[in-house]
């Protein structure tokens, strides 16, 4: 498992390279980095996936420790490359494949330049961290991530199922797939995790992808990853739970909803927690965006949404929980989703899930 050999097919890699905007490709070349995402196998056979799935007993999941986010550090990075806005809407979980949500009043585009907006933006009190009790698609699409680190610790993060061509993509944080130069193993996604219960099963990673900036030097500005999970009982992930939309190169300082399964005190990983409010730009050490939020370890990789509809529980995933500063523990920060994050998503959705 976790061989440093790319699982991406030549076709997928070529497509990913073609989808990297010229500005991002030039910036990557200038930094000495391949503009295409970094990718590697997690499991490559049914027997391996069966072993990983069986490893994660309920007892092991409940005992897994929340992964500590990496401490931010100053870099010479200019931050993510920003190109044209691009977004795609989410899909409902139905017995019919590729059946889209009908999101009344929501503007969306595929490969276009339309920013993510909603015709009806409800006035929501800012939430620094409350249990989500309104139901909707976000309950099914958000889940806990479990894995074993290179030093043998069973740990947890959060993630989100997103709409994709292969119906098998989970978006999470870069440090939830690789940290301190080593990839995690035994990686699984458990949507709608409920205090040990797994209503939609345990989904085993087949392939992992992240930005070259995170892969090469763990640059916190690029702390994003996509994981392609294998089918379960003959069905794909978003065919079972649905998928959130994704959006890249969107305007900053917008209203955001952040979700996750914090598992460090005062939380225990048993409940889906959310924060909401207007994002602000980090002016301390990174090019990230910040949000008033008291989620703790284990929430890393949980989704940030623009244009979130509280009634349907659908939105456009536009960042993930990444880190907090020690001197400001009640503020969460997440990377700007620019061209590099978009290239990771595009490569992931064109990777074979089998």
Q: What is the largest CA-CA distance in the chain?
A: 50
Residue 302 to residue 159: CA distance in whole angstroms: 5
Backbone angles phi, psi at 213, to 5 degrees: -65, -40
pLDDT at 308 over 70: yes
Residue 297 has pLDDT above 70, yes or no: yes
The predicted pLDDT at position 19 comes to 43
pLDDT tens digits for range 50-101: 999 999 999 999 999 999 877 777 766 788 998 999 999 876 664 333 333 2
* pLDDT digit string, tens, across residues 160-189: 999 999 999 999 999 999 999 999 999 999
Per-residue pLDDT, 107: 33
Alpha-carbon distance of 170 to 191, in angstroms, equals: 10
Report how far residue 148's alpha carbon sits from residue 153's, in angstroms, rounded to the nearest whole number: 5
% of residues, the chain, pLDDT over 90: 69
Q: Is residue 89 part of a domain?
A: no
Return d(Cα 176, Cα 18) in angstroms, integer.
Answer: 27
Q: What is the mean pLDDT of residues 259-279?
A: 93
Q: What confidence tens digit (pLDDT) does each residue in 217-265 have?
A: 999 999 999 999 999 999 999 999 999 999 999 999 999 999 999 999 8
322: domain CATH number is: 2.40.10.10
87 located within any domain: no
For the chain, the average pLDDT equals 84
Q: What is the pLDDT of residue 32?
A: 55
pTM: 0.85
- At residue 58, the pLDDT reads 96
249 with 83: CB under 8 angstroms? Answer: yes
More confident site: 25 or 247 = 247
How do residues 87-141 score in pLDDT, each as one tens digit?
Answer: 998 766 643 333 332 222 333 334 444 445 443 344 445 677 889 988 999 999 9
- Give the chain's domain count: 1
Nearest to 350 by CA among 162, 87, 161, 164: 164
Confirm whether 252 is domain-assigned: yes
Domain for residue 304, yes or no?
yes
Domain of residue 185 covers: 38-68+124-350
103 belongs to a structural domain: no
Tell me the percentage of the chain whose pLDDT exceeds 70.
Answer: 79
pLDDT surpassing 90 at residue 11: no
Name the strand (E) or helix (H) holding 28: helix 22-30
Q: Going by DSSP bridges, is the β-strand pair 273-278/280-281 parallel, antiparallel, or unpaired?
A: unpaired
Q: How far is CA 202 from the centre of its chain?
A: 17
The predicted pLDDT at position 97 comes to 36
In a domain, 263, yes or no: yes
Residue 202 falls inside a structural domain: yes
pLDDT of residue 105: 30
133 inside domain: yes
């Amino acid at each position: 498992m976790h061989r440093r050999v790319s699982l991406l097919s030549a076709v997928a890699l070529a497509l990913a390279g073609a989808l990297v905007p010229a500005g991002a490709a030039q910036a990557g070349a200038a930094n000495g980095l391949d503009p295409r995402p970094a990718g590697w196998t997690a499991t490559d056979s049914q027997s391996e996936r069966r072993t990983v799935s069986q490893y994660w007993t309920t007892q092991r999941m409940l005992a897994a420790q929340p992964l500590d986010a990496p401490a931010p550090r100053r870099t010479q990075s200019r931050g993510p490359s920003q190109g044209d806005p691009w977004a795609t809407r989410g899909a409902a979980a139905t017995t019919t494949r590729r059946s889209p949500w009908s999101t009344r009043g929501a503007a969306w585009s595929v490969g276009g330049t339309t920013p993510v907006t909603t015709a009806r933006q409800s006035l929501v009190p800012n939430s620094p961290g409350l249990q989500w009790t309104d139901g909707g698609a976000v309950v099914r699409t958000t889940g806990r991530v479990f894995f074993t680190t290179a030093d043998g610790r069973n740990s947890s993060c959060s993630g989100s199922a997103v709409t994709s061509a292969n119906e098998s993509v989970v978006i999470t944080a870069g440090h939830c797939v690789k940290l301190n130069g080593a990839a995690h193993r035994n990686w699984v996604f458990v949507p709608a995790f409920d205090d040990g219960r797994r209503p939609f099963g345990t989904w085993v990673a087949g392939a992992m992808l992240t930005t070259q900036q995170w892969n090469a030097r763990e640059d916190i500005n690029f702390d994003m990853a996509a994981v392609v999970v294998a089918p379960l009982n003959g069905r794909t992930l978003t065919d079972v739970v649905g998928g959130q939309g994704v959006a890249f190169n969107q305007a900053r300082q917008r209203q955001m909803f952040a979700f996750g399964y914090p598992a460090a005190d005062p939380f225990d990983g048993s409940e889906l927690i959310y924060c909401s409010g207007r994002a602000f730009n980090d002016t301390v050490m990174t090019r990230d965006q910040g949000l008033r939020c008291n989620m703790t370890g284990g929430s890393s990789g949980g989704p940030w949404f623009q244009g979130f509809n509280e009634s349907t529980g659908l939105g456009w995933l536009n960042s993930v929980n990444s880190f907090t500063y020690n001197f400001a523990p009640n503020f969460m920060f997440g990377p700007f989703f620019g061209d590099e994050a978009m290239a990771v998503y595009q490569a992931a959705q064109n990777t074979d899930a089998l």
